[in-house]
Amino acid sequence: MKTNLITCLLCFTLGFANAQTMPEAFIGMLPSPPGDICSEGENSGRSAFMQQVGDLNNKLSEEMSRRKDEIEEKMDNNKDKMMQNAMARTGVSPQLMQQMMSIEKASKGATGDQKKAYEAQKKALAGQMMEQSTNISMGEIENLKKMDKAGKTAWAEAYATEKKAEVMADPQAYQQKAATDMKNYKLAEKQRQLADSLGAQSMKYMKQFEELETSKESQNLLTQISELEARLNEEYQKENRPNDDAIKSLTNQIRNAQISFCNMQSPKYLDILSKFKSFTQASLTPYYRLEKLTNQVTASQTGVEINTQPGLMGLQAIGSYLSKLSDVYRYSHIRPQYVYIGAE
């Protein structure tokens, strides 16, 4: 009895260790930005905050990599089946598909005459596949290239008449195919619209971060700091002993300008970041819906249900937010206060 209990506990522990971490869990682990971004010294909390962000980013990257590896494995395992299903929709026989797949595998690494022979076989099979799928032979295509405009028009009209006759021969099958195609189109369109909507909302915040970076006020202050830095560098380059008073004055001017820059930019950055976090959190449910639609579209196109674990898109969205969170100190590069160390 005791042995069975230990075994059950061990299985539970291993299962929990290998369990996926959902996006909501990562949202709960996100650290809050420090209160005063522009504060200095060991008590500013910067090191601890950046350590938290770095650790969480590593954990998030590992989870996303694990999920992507699983998806790739499922895709690889179903690659042949997907290809067969895709070709079957074109009307190509399984025998021709199998021959083409066999030649593709055999031709890998081939060189010289052997490679040419494989290419010739693939070209011949491709011609047969096209004829089965479209009822147009390679010979017809070659002849079509040589026709004048009137000849091409006549050929197109004849081909259209032939296809119309095929539809009239089995209108029910045509209607069923048209209904399926329309259903798949609407599904793909729904997926595209949701993806575009989420992408546009995310880009709105990216644009706000960019506009903050390139605003006229920030550029003016950066220019002022650069000019002061250049003057300070000139002072240090003088052959005679540098003027300590001038260096002190310039250093402290630069420091004050950098503090002003940080105090101007950081609150705005944090405001955008807060809104971006709210969007990221609210977007998790739509991303679950988008993943479901994507799986359905993939299944409709390939005939294979991959059934990926839900949450990867949400994790990627959190990764985008985390990248901006890790950059909260981008405006807080402040020179230390000038201290003159004279002769003892």
Does residue 113 sit within a domain? no
Does residue 139 sit within a domain? no
The pLDDT of residue 159 is above 80: no
Does residue 236 sit within a domain? yes
Does residue 183 sit within a domain? no
Does residue 170 sit within a domain? no
pLDDT score for 9: 38
Q: What is the pLDDT of residues 247-256, one digit of tens each?
A: 889 999 999 9
Does residue 305 sit within a domain? yes
Does residue 256 sit within a domain? yes
Read off the DSSP letter of residue 44: G
Q: Which domain holds residue 252?
A: 192-344
Does residue 147 sit within a domain? no
Q: What is the pLDDT of residues 272-303, one digit of tens each?
A: 999 999 999 999 999 999 999 999 988 888 87
Determine the Cα–Cα distance for residues 113 and 270; give it in Å rounded to an integer.
65
- Comparing 268 with 176, which gets the higher pLDDT? 268
Determine the Cα–Cα distance for residues 156 and 277; give it in Å rounded to an integer.
57
pTM comes to 0.74
pLDDT score for 265: 95
The torsion angle over the Cα atoms of residues 253, 258, 260 and 261, rounded to 10 degrees, is 140
pLDDT score for 273: 96
**Structure confidence at residue 84 as a pLDDT band (50, 70, 90):** confident
User: 239, 320, 271, 280: which is closest to 27 by C-alpha?
Assistant: 280
* Number of domains observed in the structure of the chain: 1
Determine the Cα–Cα distance for residues 27 and 278; give it in Å rounded to an integer.
10
The pLDDT of residue 185 is above 80: yes
User: 276, 326, 272: which is closest to 52 by C-alpha?
Assistant: 326
Alpha-helical (H) ranges within the chain are 2-17, 23-29, 46-77, 79-88, 94-107, 112-134, 138-146, 149-169, 171-213, 216-237, 244-282, 284-302, 312-325
Q: Are 67 and 26 in contact (CB under 8 A)?
A: no
The pLDDT of residue 17 is above 60: no
| Side-chain half-sphere CA neighbours of 253 within 13 A | 17
Read off the DSSP letter of residue 215: -
